[in-house]
Amino acid sequence: MKFLLGLALKNLSRYKKRTIITAAAIAVGLGIYIFIDAWLLGAEMESERNLIWYESSSARVLNESYWEEKDQLPLKYVIENPEEVTVRLQELKIPAAPRTVFGGELIVREDPFEQDGSMQVKIFSIDPEQDNTVFRFRETIVKGRYLKPGEEGILIGSWLAEDLGAEVGYPLTIVTRTRHGYYQIIDVEIVGIINCPNPSINRGAIFLPLDTADTYLEMQGAVTEINLKFPERSDAEMLAASIEEKLIEDFKGIEILSWKILARDYVAFAAMKQSGTRMILFLVFIIAAVGVSNTMLMAIYERFRELGMMRALGMKDSQVRLTFLFEAGGIGFIGSVFGVMLGCILCLWIVNRGVDYSAMIRDMDIGYRVTGIMRGAWHPKALVIAFFLGIILSVVTAFFPTRRALKMTITDCLRFQ
Amino acid sequence: MKRTVMALLVTLMVPASLWAISAEDIIKKLEKNTVTKTARIDGVMIINDRFGIKRSTFISYARGADTMLIEFTSVEEEGMKILRTRDEIYLFYPDAEELIRMQGAALKESVMGSDMSYEDMTGGRTLLQSYKVKLEGTEEIDGAPCYKVSMEAKKKGVPYYKQIMWIDKELFIYRKIHKFSRSGKLLKEIICDDVRQVSGKNIAFHMVLKDTMKRNSSTEFVINDIQINIPLKASIFSLEELTW
């Protein structure tokens, strides 16, 4: 065995050019695989984080009838006693933020705006203090200031502000319906513009103080939802179920839904993207595999005569096969080492610098909750997989031509052109 | 002396209270005049806004106070239908061959870009079932003496919390309506004129609707022809008929 290993190593150093070319093909294939995997993983992780930090929260307490009619943004299915629920959640050390979400028509008028107009919007009424224990909007103000309780002021997404031509201090009117169904007009002023890493917020969100909304919408203290924050990387579904179990005894008619249910469109989209990602990685793998196979095949075929000579000198078929497989494994090993190194260099760039997609994402919804720079993420599992894949692939692709050569007679091998 | 003054006051007041008409009576008379068993209207909707003037002709069929079918006949919207039943509003677009049930936020959308929302078309309950009414006095609207009746919602679910109607004292038809938001801001104004008598009913042949949230915008409804209490097939107001 030691002799065979030594022979394989000698062969590797004897045919330097071939070894380098074959190993380089493996290294490039694996490097690209590692890079793309890190890039897509980074986008997915950042997107998920931005979804939880700015949109869905980890989980949400809702009236059990709300979810079925969520698209209508109904004010009839509410949590009547949010303070009691919040206190109970705080006892369980779960940060909670009540909100009332409602729909309305946003009306802008010429002077100060360029022209009259209106659009349907979704309005999030938030408790300016409590909301920051769950969401992170305070840090995303780019113009003006954050909301103050009780004021008739709003925060508006930066892209929506751009589309409307709105600035801090501009007046807006919201036409909506109260909890009892009556038309209501809320005259507000823009106090701040937010630009957060979640494009869906920048594109159309409007935030109003909860107590202001409570008065105008005749909510009498009720809210439509209480958002919860769980520790990062916790199992949101399991935690939501266990908290619901604890709360349900005291608060009838509520349910807690984890972000995976709240953002099920996104989750379905992410799953679809993942299968797309897998397909891209598979294609990258195929390209790498074809390259590796081709160079390995060439390497074996051009050495049929050498193989025949080894057999003529008395080496057993199994020993010849093992020598060639060791050699292929060696090439695979060198290629994998350099491939992982190349992948790491590319990852360093994509993880730390990223690619600026802001111009594209501004006008197009690609589904990911990422604005601006899309960064990658380190994926140690992919590095390990790529490393062993390089070696195994080389050995497997060397196996078949070797087997074919060993099936030939020694004289045929020696005559092989 | 005191007794004499009291007796005189009572004598003066009794006839006045006996002859005075209550707000409820005014509304009942208004509804008696405006609600027909059946009606067929051939009319035009004229939308004036910053984009210019747009005319859409239509034929509408009505049965009672809460069932109505509008079919647009102008080239642009030909075949588009709106069916209002007691509780629902349906839209039919012939190009898409699609039937849409209007609900939730969609009811707030305007009807073909006009100042009227689909919600303004919803009905079902009479005014007295939905509103507490109060006679505020009398005022003249375009020279016509009118009762000024204010109405405040007594039931949840009606779109306008407060309305003020100016109802013609003689014809019992509204000359002007103001519709307010919960906070008391004026949302819509309706002005009616060109009142004519058809089959014993006083009908305004011209109506202007203004959404006060939209500046420089108004929608006019002009009746070209109206037939009242004519036989109408019940199937006209069915969903099956709507898609034909």
Q: Are B187 and A185 inside 8 Å of each other by CB?
A: yes
Q: What is the ipTM of this complex?
A: 0.81
Q: Are A116 and B215 inside 8 Å of each other by CB?
A: yes
Residue A187 has pLDDT above 90, yes or no: yes
Q: Are B215 and A115 inside 8 Å of each other by CB?
A: no
Question: B212: distance to nearest CA of chain A, Å?
Answer: 11
Q: Are A116 and B157 inside 8 Å of each other by CB?
A: no
CA A297 to chain centre: 39
Q: How far is CA A340 from CA A33, A153, B40, in A?
A: 10, 53, 80
CB pairs under 8 A between A and B: 65
Q: What is the pLDDT of residue A355?
A: 79
pLDDT tens, position by position, A49-79: 888 999 999 999 999 999 998 888 999 899 9
Contacts of B102 in chain A (CB under 8 A): none
Between CA B199 and CA B36 the distance in angstroms is 10
Identify the CATH homologous superfamily for domain B22-242.
Lipoprotein localisation LolA/LolB/LppX (2.50.20.10)
Q: Is B159 on the interface with A (CB under 8 A)?
A: yes
Could you tell me the pTM of the whole model? 0.77
Contacts of A77 in chain B (CB under 8 A): none
* Residue in the structure block whose two tokens are 């006892």: A91
Between CA B165 and CA A394 the distance in angstroms is 88
For B217, name the nearest residue in chain A, comparing CA atoms only.
A116
Q: What is the pLDDT of residue B14?
A: 47
Which stretches in chain B have pLDDT values below 70?
1-19, 104-105, 122-125, 244
The amino acid that residue B232 corresponds to is L
Question: A385: distance to nearest CA of chain B, Å?
Answer: 51
For B183, name the nearest residue in chain A, comparing CA atoms only.
A184
The amino acid that residue A33 corresponds to is Y
Question: A46: distance to nearest CA of chain B, Å?
Answer: 33
CA A112 to chain centre: 40
Radius of gyration of chain B (CA): 20
What are the domain boundaries of chain A?
2-52+267-415, 59-229
Residue A258 has pLDDT above 90, yes or no: yes
Indicate the burial class of A168 (C-beta count within 10 angstroms; 0-12, 13-18, 19 or more): middle
Which A residues 140-169 touch B at CB under 8 Å? none
Q: Are B105 and A72 inside 8 Å of each other by CB?
A: yes
pLDDT tens, position by position, A387-405: 998 888 888 888 887 887 7
pLDDT tens, position by position, A329-345: 888 899 999 999 999 99
Question: A48: distance to nearest CA of chain B, Å?
Answer: 29
